[in-house]
Amino acid sequence: MKKIHYLICGSLALAGAALLLAGCAATSNQANGARLWSQNCSRCHNNRSPASYSQAQWEVSMMHMRLRANLTGNEYRAILDFLQTASK
């Protein structure tokens, strides 16, 4: 599948550094997740409603989008938490 950006991607893209930098886990809250979602997730495409996917589907999708959006570990967890709570 074709990818969006210019300098991008291969078969083995690693989120390693993001994982390291996200070392200190913060307890994410819903409001934070919602804000981060609206700030980060409509940058490239329209936001899809949280209710359009199941919890498991959001987990898969967020694995992909965490890379695309260059999320930190905290941002990733807060957004995933928000999406899963509001999921179908």
Q: Round to whole Å and give the CA distance between 85 and 62.
A: 14
Q: Can you tell me which of 59, 67, 86, 87 binds other proteins, judged by CB under 8 A?
A: 67
Q: Is 23 in the site for other proteins (CB under 8 A)?
A: no
CB 44 within 8 A of CB 79: no
Q: Out of ligand HEC, other proteins, none, which partner does residue 57 contact, by CB within 5 to 8 A per kind?
A: none
Nearer to other proteins, 15 or 86 (CB): 15
Kindly list the distances between the CA atom of residue 62 and the CA atoms of 55, 57, 59, 86, in Å, as whole numbers in the listed order.
10, 8, 5, 14
Q: Can you tell me which of 30, 42, 54, 85 binds other proteins, judged by CB under 8 A?
A: 42
